[in-house]
Amino acid sequence: MARKFDESGARQLVERWQASDLSDAAFARRERVSIRQLRRWRDLFAGEPTEGLEFAPVVIREPAYSKQPTMTPFVVELRQGCSIRVAAGFDARELRRLVESLEDIRC
């Protein structure tokens, strides 16, 4: 006759099995449980953290670099005498579109 286990007993059984060098069949035979049940408990408890599991502390810090551009902005002089100041790291395509559209306008 197969033994009955509550959740705590099933967890302990799976832990003992995993700590042993026995195959699932040998361990199940020795403990008088079905291989199928033993595997089901293993799969059920596999995704859960084990007791006593310790996590390393995590420290979140601001990046060492400044979010503000440190380089001098570019100055683009248009034909009409207007100028555009552009920060470092600009999108060249967007700047080109802006310059082309402003070239058609009088400053």
Secondary structure of the chain as H, E, C letters: CCCCCCHHHHHHHHHHHHHCCCCHHHHHHHHCCCHHHHHHHHHHHHCCCCCCCCCCCCCCCCCCCCCCCCCCCEEEECCCCCEEEECCCCCHHHHHHHHHHHHCCCC
Number of domains forming the structure of the chain: 2
- Range of weakest confidence among 4-13, 26-35, 80-89: 80-89
What is the domain range of residue 26? 7-46
Tens of pLDDT, residue by residue over 40-53, are 888 888 876 555 55
Tens of pLDDT, residue by residue over 67-98, are 665 677 778 777 777 778 888 778 888 888 88
Residue 58 lies in a domain: no
Give the residue with greater pLDDT, 30 vs 45.
30
Residue 69 lies in a domain: no
Residue 51 lies in a domain: no
Residue 54 lies in a domain: no
